[in-house]
Amino acid sequence: MKKRKLGSSGLEVSALGLGCMGMSWSYGAAKDKKEMIGLIRAAVEKGVTFFDTAEVYGPHTNEVLVGEALVPFRNEVVIATKFGLKPASEAEANSRWSVLDSSPAHIRKVVEGSLKRLQTDVIDLYYQHRVDPNVPIEDVAGTVKDLIGEGKVRYFGLSEAGIDTIRRAHAVQPVTALQSEYSLWWREPEKDVIPMLEELGIGFVPFSPLGKGFLTGKMDESTTFDKTDFRSTVPRFNPENLKANQALIDLINQIAAQKKVSPAQVALGWLLAQKAWIIPIPGTTKLHRLEENIGGAEVELTSEDLTQIQEAASKITIQGARYPEEQAKLVGR
């Protein structure tokens, strides 16, 4: 697979990474550990070198999974994990995050747990999962800077942070990457975030590049989600909004038919065409979907294709919020 660099940091990774959250958490029951280890290792064999997890996924079990899977390839891959969010109750395996803690003492505590679970002596990319309004971002960046100096972390990242926070953090410790949602059905970052990242030389790691599955074209208003599936709480996935947003799927299907590729590959190809320092991290639990997603890195969209998509997409108004109200409050701080 082709490689890309995360902004001006010099950190080079595969053009597509692998988001591992859904293997353990959030999209229904945890999947078979042995099968998921096999899937992660298959990704490495197919050229993926960038793997994403977090302390809160599981909680903790996803880091254990990723760590075990990547031990044989540790020197060949880049592992990203996150701090600063923890479940409301550690006893509730499917609990959504609700407790913020990015205090320096807490960061120093949890980094040790992540290192142990990942079976490594250094975390390649360490993101603040969500901005904690109770802790100055300068203190967060300074703590990670210290961890970098101690050799426990290589690079610093932020997730779903607002532009002012990113600038303040970057002034203390250069931010290597911002991880936030970005796709054909969530284009808000184009307004202010992407121009600022380009200015500062920060890479962009879009999560949910396939719209949490919607952009694969496999959903419609009859699609239902188990209560353990995060999407059951997301307004954008209620039947009315799924129906209203099918116009975007019709557009993607049209381009896919022209290119003789899948809708998911069009969606990933579109993201990769936006900037050379954008590295999407689609997640999957199925080998054939992994192979399909990797194929998206080979989709070449011409300037005419991109103009066609832009003109058609500009006429489509996406319906529904991308997060429930409480979680929406954690974004863009």
Q: Which residues are catalytic?
A: 57
CA proximity to 218, closest of 172, 286, 158, 269: 286
**Residue that is written with structure tokens 């407790």 in the block:** 99
Tokens of 147: 């961890």
What residue type is assigned to position 90 of the chain?
E
**How many CB atoms are located within 10 Å of the residue 223 CB?**
13
Phi, psi of 244 (to 5 degrees): -65, -35
Q: How far apart are the first and last CA of the chain?
A: 35
What CA–CA distances, in Å, run from 322 to 185, 222, 238? Answer: 10, 19, 11
Amino acid residing at 35? E
Closest CA to 205 of 76, 17, 2: 17
Burial of residue 122 (number of CB atoms within 10 Å: 0-12, 13-18, 19+) = middle
